Structure 1
Amino acid sequence: MNSYYAFIKAVETGSFTKAAQELGYTQSAISQMVHSLEEELSTTLILRSRKGITLTPDGEEFLPYIKNICNSHRELIEKLKEVEGLQSGLIRIGTFSSVACHWLPGLIKDFKEQYPAVHFELHQGNYTDISNWIKEGSVDFGFVNPKAVSNLTTTPLQEDEMLAVLPVDHPLAAHSKVLLKELTNGPYILLDEGEISEPLTIFKQNNFEPNIQYRVHDAYWIMSMIEQGLGISILPKLVLNRCPYTIVTKAISPAIVRTISLAYKDKRVLPIASRYFIDFIIERYSKNEPL
């Protein structure tokens, strides 16, 4: 299996040297392992140059299959640990920033009080990233908007209202509530959440089109831009908790609400630690405890 892991790490880092550093081998050992894999598959997987490494067409074709083999191997190791009980394990989670900041720290803290030997690996991205990570096995499960995923099992956790976010001196800042149409005036800063955007969907359903001047991947960056008067936006209420910026938030008419859900392929084949953590999250939600 070492040659498979060496190949994947080399592709991820773009360098045999970096792969060697992360895996604890010498650069020549990584090169030999990749060469051994190429001999096993009777093809060339990687092209080497002074600029680094690139995949050959065959390398592109084989990469997802090799990833699946490594993920299955990891699941086998986790299964062996399960036989001994939940004494250790790795929980890999795909998440977006608001959940990562406001939900997961408390959930992880409470879970580790029961299972202190369990480790966590968090991958932050947009809805599309997280869905793809779950499908390819890079993470065990993830937090998503269920409208943005397909061919996955989803479990709803909480509704999250979305609010208009404005500079303090904006004309709409004095209103108790703003109309969706009013948010089409002036520069709009879009939170890029992948293939689906809840605000853009609502704008389209109402035959409105915002004046998008910026597309930004991080909500906190958007808040900073709004504080400087660069535009307005619509952001989830969760991400606005403990907001460190001087901005104004207002309810929107018609209301915009997103659903935060857990998503996974097949819970039955997940590592035991991940199954326990999923149940832990759902149980806390069912008790209506704050996440």
Structure 2
Amino acid sequence: SSVTCHWIPGLIKDFKELYPTVHFELHQGNYTEISNWIKEGSVDFGFVNSNVSDLTTIPLQEDEMVAVMPVDHPLTSFTEVSLEELLKDPYILLDEGVIHEPLMIFKQYDFEPDTQYRVYDPYAIMSMIEQGLGISILPKLLLHKCPYNIVTKSISPSIIRTITLAYKDKRVLPIASRYFIDFIIERYREI
């Protein structure tokens, strides 16, 4: 969702200025679905987490994961929050189809969040947080231009996800897809 909302529209607009006859078909899913679509050839490429086998992956950017909470939450007065402090509230899990980066960090420290909700749509999670149903950890990119009345805080230790471009075999992709892949890499590759 974060890439679809915050990168893709600008990329398509700029790419179509160079290649106005190119048409796009966008599919949105979780990391597992996207990886499977690429592997089976129903999509040419996609954005995934960095832990994908059997695909060519190109890390583009790192994105900080942040704690997201209601505006009246007691932790809003802190500059950053610890993972342990996040265990005290109901946790709303963003179901991404694979192990969620924050859950891996929780397990690393032998912490178990009180996961009361598993939600596929990150915007639904933000709405639930705004209503005081719990807290979550979401990608910072997703929270750019956030329309919800919520608060974000850095987490200690920090949690970073890597936004990665993936494809199966670039040589057999349509030329427009190959050019768009190169265009994306030129625009966003920082790693």
The normalised TM-score by structure 1 is 0.64
Identity value in percent:
78
What does residue 45 of structure 2 align with?
Answer: 141
Pairwise CA distance, 1:146:
1.1
Alignment pair present for 1:259 and 2:173: no
The structure with more helix, counted as a fraction of residues = 1
User: What is the identity, as a one-letter code, of the residue corresponding to 2:188?
Assistant: Y
Q: What amino acid is aligned across from residue 111 of structure 1 in structure 2?
A: F
Secondary structure, aligned partner of 1:121: coil
d(CA) in 1 for partners of 2:98, 2:10:
29
Find out whether 1:202 has 2:105 as its counterpart. Answer: yes
Of structures 1 and 2, the larger Rg is shown by 1
TM-score normalised by L of structure 2: 0.98
- Once residues 183 and 165 of structure 2 are traced to their aligned partners in structure 1, the CA distance between those partners, rounded to angstroms, is 12
Report the equivalent of 1:122: 26
Note the alpha carbon deviations across 1:56-83, whole angstroms, 9 max, x for none. xxxxxxxxxxxxxxxxxxxxxxxxxxxx
1:183 aligns with 2:55: no
Q: 1:240 aligns with which of 112, 137, 143?
A: 143
Name structure 2 gaps, 5 residues minimum: none
Query: Which residue among 249, 262, 278 is the counterpart of 2:152?
Result: 249
Consecutive unaligned residues in structure 1, runs of 5 or more: 1-96
> For residue 140 of structure 1, what is the amino acid of its counterpart?
D
Q: Deviations over 1:211-261 (max 9, x none)?
A: 000000011110000000000000000000000011110000000000001
Q: Which has the higher contact order (CA 8 A, sep 6+)?
A: 2
Structure 2 residue aligned with 1:157: 60
Match 1:168 to one of 60, 71, 92: 71
The whole-number CA distance in structure 2 between the counterparts of 1:133 and 1:203 is 29
Give the structure 1 partner of residue 188 of structure 2: 285
Q: What is the 5 A alignment of 1:11-50? A: none
Structure 1 position 284, deviation (Å): 1.5
Q: Any idea what SS the aligned residue of 1:139 has?
A: coil
The Cα shift of 1:278 comes to 0.2
Partner AA of 2:14 in structure 1: D
Aligned to 1:57: none
Paired with 1:182 and 1:235, the residues of 2 have a C-alpha distance of 16
Structure 1 residue 285, shift from structure 2 partner: 2.4
Matched letter for residue 152 of structure 2: T
The count of residues paired between Structure 1 and Structure 2 equals 190
Computed over aligned residues only, the root mean square deviation of the Cα atoms, in angstroms, reads: 0.8
> Following the alignment from structure 1 to structure 2, what is the Cα–Cα distance between the partners of residues 280 and 186?
42
Q: Structure 2: how far apart are the matches of 1:271 and 1:146?
A: 24
| Distance in 1 of aligned mates of 2:89 and 2:4 | 31
**Deviation >6 Å, runs of 4+:** none
How many Å separate the matches in 2 of 1:247 and 1:224?
A: 9
Letter in 1 for 2:146: C
State the AA in 2 paired with 1:267.
Answer: K
Structure 1 residue 100 corresponds to structure 2 residue 100: no
Displacement after TM superposition at 1:181 (Å): 0.9
Within-5 A mapping of 1:5-16: none
